């Protein structure tokens, strides 16, 4: 897919999952931004997600990709960063234990810092509120409030040109994201959504994230490109 | 000074400077919170500030003190974290080169995460808007916007009991902060404000931070407890 004429710099949060990959594809291929991808090594349980982020940044032509080590795991409080809390095999009610306290706020804050240094016009995040697993910091009102805060936080803001936070997937369900990603040429087999992926990035097929992802492929009528762990391919 | 009856937990951002030390003293000794102090090793040029934070947390009876390593320096853009940008000897107009992009946003985001894990009711920051050196993220409207964002960002917020962000020094000048700190028993000789302190924490006496601090002691009519580097004691 040809790259369109470049329109400004963007910092794109890239987790290695399908949502952020689709978001990067949209920023780079549809909007034509020069994309600076940002990932975090924050004590999550597996490295496969970060390995996936490296692959995706390369496949989608990010201008640059940085991975910051942050000590979010040292603060505890989530099944994704605390070995003492088990990842559930079945989805439950309310905010799940995989919620990492203030994760998106921390990630967006670093994106804001880097956008200021790069003089970037945009920050992209792949959060979505439809299949959001109950996380408070994936809601449209949260994104709007972060934008309002960012409008006061930086040198660019004081100069009257605050960075614009975009969450283009926020109103899309998984099926719509998968369809959009396919149309933008995302290789979903390179992405990792599973909370318990193995070292190669193969998925467990059973956790919340795997269930949402599989249901998304089914609803979109697109073949599931996910690599599953031996003996764990779902239904 | 006796500790009053404990009233809830507070996360207190602690830099090692006089403002955050006074803020911790206020949260612990006047408000009676159980204080969890939070510092950052973010690529700042000297360790003396962090050594000071450790001393201050001990002197002021913080329940706990954590120092998180974050890679803010890897993003560049400030004289405080980028060896390629010189710290000026004289204050200049506008936002100074010592401004670290989105620093307070990043720090407050981690404080928000920790407050969620601790189930803390308060976050304290020692920012002030009077002698704020022109930093955008030290203004009252910025603090209010961060609070509005935090009110949507966390599990506690969804449960209807968002953490309360307090910036009790925001309207105080340096002289008022010094007077308050003295009244609360802060040992200012243990604090480091200088952008170019030596390994022992002794101050240069010439940078923006040193000038503001010295003028504050003079205006408060309190003897300057600062330790200066040999040959650098100002006027």
- What average pLDDT does range A18-26 have in this prediction? 97
Contacts of B82 (CB under 8 A, 6+ apart): B73, B76
Per-residue pLDDT of A47-64, as tens digits, reads: 888 999 999 999 999 999
What is the 3-state secondary structure of chain A? Answer: CCCCCCCCEEEEECCCCHHHHHHHHHHHHHCCCEEEEEEEECCCCCCHHHHHHHHHHHHCCCCEEEEEECCHHHHCCCCCCCCCCCCCCCCCCCCCCCCCCCHHHHHHHHHHHHHHHHCCCEEECCCCCCCCCCCHHHCHHHHHHHHHHHHHHCHHHHCCCCCEEECCCCCCCHHHHHHHHHHCCCCHHHCCCCCCCCCCCCECCCCHHHHHHHHHHHHHCCCCCCCECCCCCCC
Higher pLDDT, B118 or B97: B118
Asked if A148 and B146 come within 8 Å (Cβ–Cβ), the reply is no
Average of per-residue pLDDT values in chain A: 86
A166 touching chain B per CB within 8 A: no
Average of per-residue pLDDT values in chain B: 86
Per-residue pLDDT of B205-225, as tens digits, reads: 988 889 888 999 999 999 998
Q: How far apart are CA B10 and CA B31, in angstroms?
A: 10
Per-residue pLDDT of A106-116, as tens digits, reads: 999 999 999 99
Cα–Cα nearest to B22, from B111, B108, B126, B124:
B126
Asked if B155 and A145 come within 8 Å (Cβ–Cβ), the reply is no
- What average pLDDT does range B132-153 have in this prediction? 89
Nearest to A105 among B70, B71, B109 (CB): B109
Cα–Cα nearest to B181, from B28, B65, B13:
B28
User: DSSP E strands: which ranges in B133-203?
Assistant: 164-166
Name the strands in the sheet holding B122-124, side by side, starting at the edge strand that comes first in the sequence: B64-69, B34-41, B9-13, B122-124, B164-166
pLDDT at residue A196 in the model? 84
pLDDT at residue A3 in the model? 47
Whole-angstrom Cα Rg for chain B: 17
Instruction: Identify the residue whose tokens are 């003190």.
Output: B65
Contacts of A14 (CB under 8 A, 6+ apart): A20, A21, A23, A24, A37, A38, A39, A53, A56, A57, A62, A65
Q: How far apart are CA A40 and CA A70, in angstroms?
A: 7
Cα–Cα nearest to A95, from A78, A113, A74, A71:
A78
Nearest to B152 among A69, A77, A139 (CB): A139
Nearest to B146 among A141, A149, A158 (CB): A149
Cα–Cα nearest to B112, from A38, A106, A23, A91:
A106
Q: How far apart are CA A80 and CA A98, in angstroms?
A: 5
pLDDT at residue B42 in the model? 80
Per-residue pLDDT of A156-198, as tens digits, reads: 888 899 999 999 999 998 999 999 999 999 999 999 988 888 8
Report the percentage of chain B scoring pLDDT > 70: 83
pLDDT at residue A18 in the model? 94
Higher pLDDT, B72 or A39: A39
Whole-angstrom Cα Rg for chain A: 17
Query: Which structure tokens are listed for A25?
Result: 């594809």
Q: Which residues of A212-223 are buried (b: 16+ CB within 10 A; e: fewer)?
A: bbbbbbeebeee
pLDDT at residue A12 in the model? 98
Contacts of A99 (CB under 8 A, 6+ apart): A78, A133, A134, A135, A136, B155
A188 touching chain B per CB within 8 A: no
pLDDT at residue B3 in the model? 46
Nearest to A77 among B71, B109, B116 (CB): B116
Asked if A152 and B145 come within 8 Å (Cβ–Cβ), the reply is yes
pLDDT at residue B91 in the model? 52
pLDDT band at A2, cuts 50/70/90? very low
**For B116, which residue in chain A has the nearest alpha carbon?**
A101
Q: Which residues of B190-207 are buried (b: 16+ CB within 10 A; e: fewer)?
A: bbbbbbbbbeebbbbbbb
Q: How far apart are CA A59 and CA A97, in angstroms?
A: 32
A74 touching chain B per CB within 8 A: yes
From A123's Cα to the closest Cα of chain B, the distance in A is 14
**Is the pLDDT reported for residue A76 higher than 70?**
no
Chain A residues touching residue B154 (CB < 8 angstroms): 101-102, 136-137
pLDDT at residue B4 in the model? 47
**Is the pLDDT reported for residue B54 higher than 50?**
yes
A95 touching chain B per CB within 8 A: yes
From A225's Cα to the closest Cα of chain B, the distance in A is 33
* Optimal mutation site among A117, A148, A162, interface B, most CBs of chain B within 10 A: A117
Higher pLDDT, B77 or B23: B23
**Is the pLDDT reported for residue B143 higher than 70?**
yes
Per-residue pLDDT of A135-160, as tens digits, reads: 888 899 999 999 999 999 988 888 89
Per-residue pLDDT of B64-111, as tens digits, reads: 999 988 877 777 666 556 656 555 555 555 555 566 788 899 999 999
Asked if B105 and A113 come within 8 Å (Cβ–Cβ), the reply is yes
**Is the pLDDT reported for residue B129 higher than 70?**
yes
pLDDT at residue A235 in the model? 52
Nearest to A136 among B117, B141, B152 (CB): B152
Nearest to B117 among A69, A101, A152 (CB): A101
Q: Which domains does chain A have, with CATH numbers?
A: 9-220 (3.40.50.620)
Query: Which structure tokens are listed for B213?
Result: 């601090």
A42 touching chain B per CB within 8 A: no
């Amino acid at each position: 897919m040809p790259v369109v004429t470049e329109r400004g710099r963007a910092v794109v949060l890239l987790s290695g999952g399908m949502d952020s990959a689709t978001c990067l594809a949209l920023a780079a291929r549809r909007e034509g931004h020069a994309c600076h991808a940002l990932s975090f090594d924050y004590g999550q349980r597996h490295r496969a997600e970060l390995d996936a982020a490296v692959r995706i940044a390369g496949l989608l032509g990010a201008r640059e990709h940085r991975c910051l080590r942050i000590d979010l795991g040292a603060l505890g409080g989530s099944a994704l960063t605390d070995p003492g809390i088990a990842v559930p095999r079945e989805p439950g009610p309310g905010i799940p234990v995989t919620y990492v306290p203030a994760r998106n706020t921390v990630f967006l804050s670093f994106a804001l810092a880097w956008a200021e240094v790069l003089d970037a016009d945009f920050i992209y995040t792949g959060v979505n509120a439809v299949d959001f697993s109950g996380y408070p910091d994936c809601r449209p009102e949260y994104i709007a409030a972060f934008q309002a805060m960012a409008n006061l936080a930086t040198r660019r803001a004081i100069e009257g040109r605050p960075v614009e936070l975009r969450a283009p997937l926020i109103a899309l369900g998984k099926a719509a994201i998968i369809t959009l990603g396919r149309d933008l040429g995302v290789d979903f087999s390179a992405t990792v959504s599973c909370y318990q992926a193995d070292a190669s990035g193969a998925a467990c097929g059973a956790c919340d994230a795997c269930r949402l992802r599989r249901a998304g492929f089914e609803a979109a009528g697109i073949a599931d490109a996910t690599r599953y762990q031996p003996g764990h391919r779902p239904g």
